[in-house]
Amino acid sequence: MPKTGKAPKWGKWLVLLLGLLTRPAAAQTASALLPLPAEANYGQGHLLLKTSLKPLLPAQVDPAVADAVGRTINRLSLATKTAGLATLQIRYGRVGRPELFDEERYSLRVTPMGVSIDAPTSLGVLRALATLEQLPRTDKKGRYLPEVDIRDQPRFAWRGLLIDAARHFMPVAVIKRNLDGMAAVKLNVLHWHLTDDQGFRIESKVFPRLQTVGSTDGLFYTQAEVREVVAYAAARGIRVVPEFDMPSHTTSWIVAYPRLKSADSTYAPYTRWRTTNVAIDPTRETTYTFLDSLLTEMTTLFPDPYFHAGGDENDGRNWRRTPRIVAWMQAHKMVKADGKTVDKHQLQTYFNRRVMVMLQQRGKTMIGWDEILGPDLPKEAVIQSWRGKKGLNDAAKLGHPVLLSSGYYIDLNLSAASSYLTDPLPPDTPLTAAEQKLVLGGEAAMWAEYADSVVLDSRIWPRAAAVAERLWSPQAATQSVADMYRRLNVLSPQLETLGLRHRRVPELLLKQMAGTSNVVPLRTLAEVIEPVKEYKRNFQGFNYTTATPLNRLVDAAPAESDVARRFGVLVDSVVAFKPASPNWLPASLRQLGTLRAQAVRWQVNDVLLQPLLAANPSLTEYGPLSTRLAAVATVVLERLTQLQTGQVPSLAWLAATRATLDAAQAPAGQAELAVVKAARKLVGL
């Protein structure tokens, strides 16, 4: 809502009137593309989608391109498959290679006669088709493509999504549908986290105990399945970079092959989420003999020239507490400045260097988490920063290629806006032009402690798309968080038509929990709660293991509540307009009315929902959240009345309200109300 505090009263009416007149037209021309292209010029014409487009492909077309064109034509879901006169002309220079930083540039032109796509490589064609699939609009003419001339290329070459298939195994079908989601938003690297303390999820024919006894459930990808995923990704212009996390995060390896262990302990498969700091022994030659065989086998499965060797979260306790290893470190002068205390970082660097050489011998560039950074690490190692932006900048300043993931940890249930506002190279970057060239891009990271194959999609989508846009689109074109959310809401149902289940699954879980066909009261609560943020779910009295079902209300709750966000947007505009009271404009009155209706719904909902929560043992823990939502609703209603009548709240009311809102912030069942912040803003507390 524009601020018009200084304008005369009729001025506000004029602004409102203009707003009403221009809004429908603006909605028609507003792009719903996500990520936004580098350049798009819309014309006045349109191409009706009544009959199918007739593909015109190069004579010797790459099969991946032909398949992708077929998918696009299907997805445009034309009313009749009869080919009309309009054509889809595809031209490209050469077949692109997804395993390299190959050219993804394209141009896409829609005229009333047809669509033409031109690109230097077939990868550009795939990106253009993803754009084309987002172009259709519907109005009284029917479904049509707007006339447009798009020229597009990515800002960063590396735009990844990490999927952790180790904590919870993610079947091939789950990976494939997420690859389809990635392709739709032009993400081009699947970072496949295949091994961790809790499981080794890929078949080794050389060391088969890794996959069979390393986890409690024994689930893993066969090598044939890995090849299938790599091919599926490549056909969509997506690289697959595997991660074998070491020297820590390796309990599963040690359970299978105890000769790898550092500490003199016995190990069973690890079934909890806390970091173990268990590490393999970098001082024994047999460790490297093992890795030599394992890496020979694993590197051949993945054509990508990059290979992730992990390196995170090893505090060295396994090494420091093992006299044999301490003696080895002292003998090799891996000590701190005092000349005595062993320095685990030096041992880790020694290990990283040896792994790096093995990988180089197999044509691979090593990637590691930012913990591996140190003065002795060769510059070719790529650093993936997760502990903060500093890691990114430090690594680039030391001459390493870098990837940003800090700020893109979508498993932490932070808002899409927070990822969107995280930029690998913000305007105030401390990096020089040469150092900036080392920033390859970034990756959204979906760790799977609290996501199984059922709820995974709903923890990734649509928020990963905000990261995709940040990494693809020009910085200058992506300044509006509100517009990002507008387009995210258009994209989200489109992603479901590709096979993702991020909207359907929470609804199914709610139905299952409610146990009745009337899911509305439970949904009304579920849609305004969110899982507790960051790593708090580890620390709230509930003991998770790998076997804990993820089917509670917290698992059906959105990572970011859309209802709460929209409530917040309305509150913002009402609060911004407050100076205009007591002469509320109709628009503000309408907003007040919407807020009031929402609050009444929440208040009434508690009455409807409590009997269900009380009767269902798996839901009882959420009773307090429903009670608190009703209390927040009461406060909101009282405040709306004050605003509308110009009444000033009493000190006693403010004190009581503060107490209500403080109490409403408390989590229950590892979930929290997402509307408290906006309620505070409305009240001015």
Q: Which residue of this chain has its Cβ atom nearest to ligand ACM in the complex?
A: 312
Is 423 in the active site?
no
Q: Cis link prior to 558 (omega < 30° from 0)? A: no
Residues in the interface with ligand ACM (CB under 6 A) total: 4
Binding mask 304-323 for ligand ACM (x = CB under 6 A): --------xx----------
Q: Strand 402-404 and strand 439-446: pairing?
A: parallel
Separation between Cα atoms, residue 429 and residue 274, nearest integer Å: 34
Contact flag: residue 297 with ligand ACM (CB under 6 A): no
- Amino acid at residue number 14: L
Least distance in angstroms from the C-beta of 278 to ligand ACM: 14
Please report where in the chains the tokens 């690594």 appear, as a residue: 395
Least distance in angstroms from the C-beta of 347 to ligand ACM: 19
In the bound state with ligand ACM, the residue whose beta carbon lies nearer, of 99 and 313, is 313
Reduced to 3 states (helix: H, G, I; strand: E, B; else coil), residue 576 is helix
Catalytic position from the list 297, 313, 572, 621: 313
Least distance in angstroms from the C-beta of 303 to ligand ACM: 24
Residue 164: beta bridge partners? 193
In the bound state with ligand ACM, the residue whose beta carbon lies nearer, of 158 and 622, is 158
Binding mask 490-529 for ligand ACM (x = CB under 6 A): ----------------------------------------
- Amino acid at residue number 301: L
Least distance in angstroms from the C-beta of 250 to ligand ACM: 13
Least distance in angstroms from the C-beta of 162 to ligand ACM: 9
Is 249 in the active site?
yes
Following DSSP, what letter does each residue of 241-308 receive, concatenated? EEEEEESBS-HHHHHH-GGGBSSS-------S-S----BB-TT-HHHHHHHHHHHHHHHHH--SSEEE
In the bound state with ligand ACM, the residue whose beta carbon lies nearer, of 270 and 567, is 270
In the bound state with ligand ACM, the residue whose beta carbon lies nearer, of 310 and 558, is 310
In the bound state with ligand ACM, the residue whose beta carbon lies nearer, of 146 and 242, is 242
Q: Find the angle CA(24)-CA(150)-CA(132) to the nearest 5 degrees.
A: 75
Catalytic position from the list 62, 118, 133, 196: 196
Least distance in angstroms from the C-beta of 538 to ligand ACM: 13
Separation between Cα atoms, residue 435 and residue 438, nearest integer Å: 5
Cβ atoms of 556 and 457 within 8 Å: the answer is: no
In the bound state with ligand ACM, the residue whose beta carbon lies nearer, of 302 and 386, is 386
Least distance in angstroms from the C-beta of 159 to ligand ACM: 18
Least distance in angstroms from the C-beta of 263 to ligand ACM: 21
Catalytic position from the list 46, 191, 193, 249: 249
In the bound state with ligand ACM, the residue whose beta carbon lies nearer, of 200 and 369, is 369
Cβ atoms of 192 and 242 within 8 Å: the answer is: yes
Tell me the H-state helices in 116-263. 122-134, 172-184, 209-213, 223-234, 251-256
Cβ atoms of 207 and 293 within 8 Å: the answer is: yes
In the bound state with ligand ACM, the residue whose beta carbon lies nearer, of 385 and 660, is 385
Contact set for ligand ACM, span 312-371 (CB under 6 A): 312-313, 369
Contact set for ligand ACM, span 6-35 (CB under 6 A): none
Cβ atoms of 245 and 196 within 8 Å: the answer is: yes
Q: Cα 153 from chain centroid?
A: 21
Dihedral sign, Cα of residue 513, residue 455, residue 200, residue 321: negative
Task: Count Cβ neighbours within 10 Å for each residue of 48-74 and write b for 16 or more, e otherwise.
Answer: ebeebbebebeeebbebbeebbebbbe
* Contacting residue, 220, 253, 386, 450, with ligand ACM by CB under 6 A: 386
Reduced to 3 states (helix: H, G, I; strand: E, B; else coil), residue 421 is coil
Is 534 in the active site?
no
Contact set for ligand ACM, span 582-641 (CB under 6 A): none
Helix H or strand E segment including 577: helix 562-577
Least distance in angstroms from the C-beta of 202 to ligand ACM: 19
Binding mask 194-223 for ligand ACM (x = CB under 6 A): ------------------------------
In the bound state with ligand ACM, the residue whose beta carbon lies nearer, of 372 and 632, is 372
Question: Which residues make up the interface to ligand ACM (CB under 6 A)?
Answer: 312-313, 369, 386
Q: Which residues are catalytic?
A: 196, 249, 313
